[in-house]
A and B are shown apart, each in its own frame.
Chain A
Amino acid sequence: MMKTLLKVEELHTHIGQYHILQGVSFEAREGEVSVLLGRNGAGKTTTLKTIMGLTPASKGTILFEDEDIKKRPTYVIANSGIGYVPEDQGIFADLTVEENMKVAMRKEDDATLARQEYVLDLFPDLKTFWKKDGGHLSGGQKQMLAMARAFVHESKLLLIDEPSKGLAPIVIEKVMEAITEMKKSTTIVLVEQNFFMASRIGDRYTLIDDGATVHAGAMKDLIQNEELKRKYLGIG
């Protein structure tokens, strides 16, 4: 059985007076793509933000490589090997593509530059727009830049939030190809509304509803479970 890289247990998060996460539990196994599914507002994005320490957890545990990272600052979590691609991509709009990549690079040695070349081969469009401001990229290009930035280090775990959101089908296909390639060398936790995409690249799923985990299992089982899909995803 594959080793568990990330284990989230009974996670609770408050934002202001709102109790957003009310018991999210799931795990990500090494080399797999774990998909968090659920309707809008279910708590998927907050789950990723809480793992990154951006919205602090009020209760529960977040075990990464068997260590609880719940109280660690965001930059320490990132440096421990977790890359993050936020829902809004978090592109620095007034920095060029090159500068966006530089901010993400902790070193500029030969190994990191070689890694950057490898990442850019996954997203060749970025080379074309290397000197263009991040704010002037299309939605698809921004998504690719956000993923390239998170992947420029050999992260052990990548958290990717809604990579297909607002993108044309042809661009979604490119993003899927890139995630499939990234999966060969890293573990991925993916938040995705597009069930077609999620079902193609996901190995395992966790259904979140009203801020809590309601179901989890192998993706191939969910594909065949019409009732769950209808009840929690509104499909079918």
Chain B
Amino acid sequence: MELLINLTINGLATGMLIFLLASGLTLIFGLMSVLNFAHGGLFAWGAYSGVWFYSLTGSFFLGILGAILTGAILGFITEKLIITPVYGNHVQQILITLGFMLVLTEMLKVVWGPNQIAAKVPPYLAGSYEFGDVLIIKYRLFIIFVGFLIFGIFQYMLQKTKIGLVVRAGVMNKEMVQALGINIKRVFLYVFMTGAALAALGGVLFAPYSGVIYAEMGFEFAILAFIVVVIGGMGSFSGSLSAAILVGLAGSYMAYYVPALSLAVNMMLMAIVLIFRPQGLFTAKG
């Protein structure tokens, strides 16, 4: 039982990190029809800048804020310089964002050096809770809490606010949104910056979870995030959460029970969804 609970907590925590990366990706694809392969780079930049802000200020909270701000600024630059010229052309988007991903990764090495950097859990989140025989690591619970909190905030914004309505409407029919007097390009920019900030948040939360950060970390998580977006349904926020949890849990259980399949399980999940429900488990409604 203890093992099962720990595997579940582990899977949920990993799932939440993937969710933070995938949620931005799905909104960017759903609304802007942009395939952003540089998204993993924003995740890595979030991790590095967050650890740097944390070491500079001594406050993990300020580290998180610094990472979010870095992500948003990088998102602004990426949308303006990299994405704007290639709107509507998926092939060019793939090429230029993959190229930018490499640039982002190499820039991390230029700024912080090529070696791995240690990332520590802040003292108040270190250790574990004890429930009888079950030990639950505090920091993993923290990640799960933040993931659900972000999901709640964004669900509220998407469902209950005007900007959320506009984003959902834009996912369905961009032309009509413009014809109703809304500057969709500005909405695109805000969504891109938000997606980048969420990726950076995922990165800074991942840093103490993993213990070390390295420039290429974005590639690995970006692949998982793309799988989640496909499984959850492109443009669906709830779909991203459900698929991220599914991928996180499947990875966690498989790594223990069938280690040989732990890397393949996500691809298998994606293949099954693509065969039986190619539009993903959810639609853009959520």
**Chain A residues within 8 Å of B, Cβ to Cβ:** 52, 54, 73-75, 78-79, 84, 86, 90, 92-95, 99-100, 102-104, 106, 149, 153
A interface footprint on B92-113 (CB within 8 Å = 1, 0 otherwise): 0000000000000000000000
Across-interface contacts of B165 in A (CB, < 8 A): 95, 99, 102-103
Rounded to whole Å, the gap between the CB of B169 and the closest CB of chain A is: 5
Given A102-B162, A102-B165, A103-B165, verify A94-B283 contact (CB < 8 Å): yes
B272-286 near A? 1/0 per residue, CB < 8 Å = 000000000001110
How many pairs of A and B residues are in contact by the CB < 8 Å rule? 61
By a CB distance below 8 angstroms, the chain A residues around B84 are none
Residues of A within 8 A of B175 (CB): 54, 74, 86, 90
Find out whether the CB atom of B181 lies under 8 angstroms from the CB atom of A90: no
What is the bound-complex CA distance between A94 and B169, given in angstroms?
8
Please classify how large the interface on chain B is, using the bins under 10, 10 to 19, 20 to 34, 35 or more: 20 to 34
Name the distance in Å between A86's Cβ and chain B's nearest Cβ: 7
B172 within 8 A of A: yes
Assembled-state Cα–Cα distance A106/B180 (Å): 9
Evaluate contact between B162 and A75: CB separation under 8 angstroms. no
Residues of B within 8 A of A79 (CB): 181
Say how far A199's CB is from chain B's closest CB, in angstroms. Answer: 28
Residue pairs across A and B with Cβ atoms less than 8 A apart, 6 shown, are A73-B178, A79-B181, A86-B179, A90-B176, A90-B179, A149-B180
**B256–chain A nearest beta-carbon distance, Å:** 39
Bound Cα distance A156, B180 (Å): 14
Docked complex Cα distance between A106 and B172 (Å): 19
B173 CB–A CB distance under 8 Å? yes
> Please, which residues of chain A bring their CB within 8 A of the CB of B283?
94
Q: A103-B165, A103-B177 are in contact. Are A75 and B184 (CB under 8 A)?
A: yes
Asked if A92 and B172 make an inter-chain contact with CB atoms under 8 angstroms apart, the answer reads yes
Q: Say yes or no: B183 contacts A75, CB within 8 Å.
A: yes
Q: B145-189: which residues lie under 8 A (CB-CB) from chain A?
A: 162, 165-166, 168-169, 172-173, 175-185
Docked-complex contact B180 and A78, CB < 8 angstroms? yes
